[in-house]
Amino acid sequence: MKNKVLKNLPLFFFFSCLTFSLFFLISGCQKDEVDPEVQKIEVLNSVEDTKVTSRSATLDIVFYRTSLTTDNYLVGGQRTYQIFNKAKVKEIKFTTTTQPSINVAGVVLKHYNIQVIFKDLTTKQFTAFSKSSLNTFTFTPSGNNLLTDSHSAKFIELTQVGSGNGYVYHFWRDVTIAPKTWNIKKDDGPVISTLVIEPTDKNSNIFSPPHTH
């Protein structure tokens, strides 16, 4: 019996080592891969605004390709949005810059040079972060237009300039708030109107277009 046990010891050690090696191999494969070039920007949603808790990257506006909107919440300062009129846009060209990508609330954004080409062949150029995609590509907008197709502007710009006079009941949240005042421009023209715009959902005290990446 003793000789039989001793005879089987090499097999026992072989299978033990094999099991141990497989365990570490599988464990290693299950580890998340982290791209060191992607900087993480933590975003906290609050009822007042969207706060950025890290500014380790050089930040810029965010361009949302599906809604064709921009938002400067990463940059800070006066909150500003642009809403492009899909009915007037022919195509949009994207080319990556040398700035590293960032991760905002779980969405990886690349930094692009963006050229919006309108159907009348005029263009608008700017840099912005947008959802990570190809390094160079041309995008044709489709889907719902946030503006009416008959809207006279190629894009409108809204900039928060203060609070309105008085308070209103925010029925989404059952509180009283001072709604924000916004300057509105068409294209790159002068301010055409200043309006008090109430929030459109229960998560914020300020108005925001329905951005979609």
187-200: pLDDT as tens digits = 999 999 999 998 88
Per-residue pLDDT band at 133 (split at 50, 70, 90): very high
Model confidence, pTM: 0.76
Comparing CA positions, the residue from 134, 131, 156 lying closest to residue 145 is: 156
**Is 64 among the domain residues?**
yes
Q: Which domain holds residue 166?
A: 39-197
Distances (CA, A) of 2 to 7, 12, 16: 9, 15, 20
**Is 102 among the domain residues?**
yes
113 touches 98 (CB < 8 A): no
**Is 59 among the domain residues?**
yes
Maximum average pLDDT range among 16-20, 70-74, 163-167: 70-74
When the pLDDT of each residue in the chain is averaged and rounded to a whole number, the result is 81
What is the Cα–Cα distance from 41 to 74, expressed in whole angstroms? 9
Q: Please count the structural domains in the chain.
A: 1
Which region among 18-27, 31-40, 195-204 has the lowest average model confidence (pLDDT)? 18-27
| End-to-end alpha carbon distance in the chain | 71
**Is 203 among the domain residues?**
no
Average pLDDT of the segment spanning 162-184: 87
**Is 105 among the domain residues?**
yes
**Is 21 among the domain residues?**
no
Q: What is the pLDDT of residues 64-93, one digit of tens each?
A: 999 999 999 999 899 999 999 999 999 999
For residue 156, the model assigns a pLDDT of 98
Per-residue pLDDT band at 167 (split at 50, 70, 90): confident
**Is 54 among the domain residues?**
yes
Task: Please give the biggest Cα pair distance in the chain.
Answer: 99
The larger pLDDT score, comparing residue 53 to residue 90, is at: 90
**Is 110 among the domain residues?**
yes
